Amino acid sequence: MMEVKKVTVLGAGLMGHGIAQVSAQVGKYEVNLRDIKQEFIDSGMGMIKGSLQKFVSKGTISEKDMNETLGRIHSMIDLKKAVADADLVIEAVPENLELKKSVWSEVDKYAKETAVFASNTSSISITEMASATRRPEKFCGMHFFNPPQLMNLVEIVRGAKTSDETVKTVAEAAKKMGKETVICKKDAPGFIVNRVLIPALNEAIYLVHEGIADPEDIDKAIKLGLNWPMGPITLLDYLGLDTTLSITEVLQREFGDKYRACPLLRQMVRAGLLGRKTRKGFYDWEKK
């Protein structure tokens, strides 16, 4: 099993910035955080600083810990520079198969031969992404949950050719980041959590769509009735309705119409009402 000393995170957005923070803060890894535009990097670094400042204000970490964490994160646009010396490359770009394959094909050219690749995808085939590289045995899924700074689970997903050594390497890295891991033994759409969660979230949207209950009452019912820490409608706004739709469409293609997205979900995505990241989804996050 290879020891990971340096991590590269591709994508500074909703998930990428959190993965970079956890890697540097808890894992104590040197981290390269790469995105395609400086504005995306600046936004991601701003979110990391904001998150760390919240930990400081709560007394979870010290000001020194915050500064040391920020010192371990190196932001950049140059892909070759970002991956050249990485032991573990974690991809967190948007949920689009062709985009991800394009990114991995480029990464494969520049990364050292011993580097392990991991995608933070929540639904896309690990085997198909791995086929864009010359090292499918060193490729697996490493699915963090939102927000990575607070959620303890990482799903590790085997592709058709993923080696045992790769699974062990990634599991050990996740453990060093303070995460609990589960192994998805087959490359099945939705893996474990989303295979169960997405139909439940889609059904919650149908409750709104059919006028059966208001979002607030749906959230209250599920929190108190099923002991969820967060209601499904709030969770949808946190996940992003576009991301939820993407996962739903993957599940429908693979498993049939029982996973068909609610028409209201499609309508909201077309309208750009994506949740917290656009400040409006089922809830108005400007007011919240």
β-strand pairing of 6-10 with 180-184: unpaired
**Which one is catalytic: 30, 91, 95, 155?**
155
8 Å CB contact between 276 and 285: yes
8 Å CB contact between 19 and 38: no
155 catalytic residue (yes or no)? yes
Rg (CA), the chain: 19
Which tokens in the block code for residue 241?
């309705």
* Measured distance CA(105)–CA(69) in Å, rounded: 30
Which tokens in the block code for residue 261?
């997205």
Extended beta strands in 104-192, E state: 116-119, 139-144, 153-158, 180-184
b/e for 236-269, b at 16 or more Cβ within 10 A? bbbbbbbbbbbbbbbbeeeeeeebebbebbeebb
8 Å CB contact between 3 and 27: no
**Which one is catalytic: 51, 119, 123, 194?**
194
**Which one is catalytic: 23, 75, 122, 123?**
122
122 catalytic residue (yes or no)? yes
74 catalytic residue (yes or no)? no
Tell me the helices (H) and strands (E) count for the chain, helix number first.
12, 8
Q: Which residues contact 69 (CB under 8 A, 6 or more apart)?
A: 21, 24, 25, 52, 61
* Half-sphere exposure at residue 183, Cβ-oriented, CA atoms within 13 angstroms: 13
Active site residues: 122, 143, 155, 194
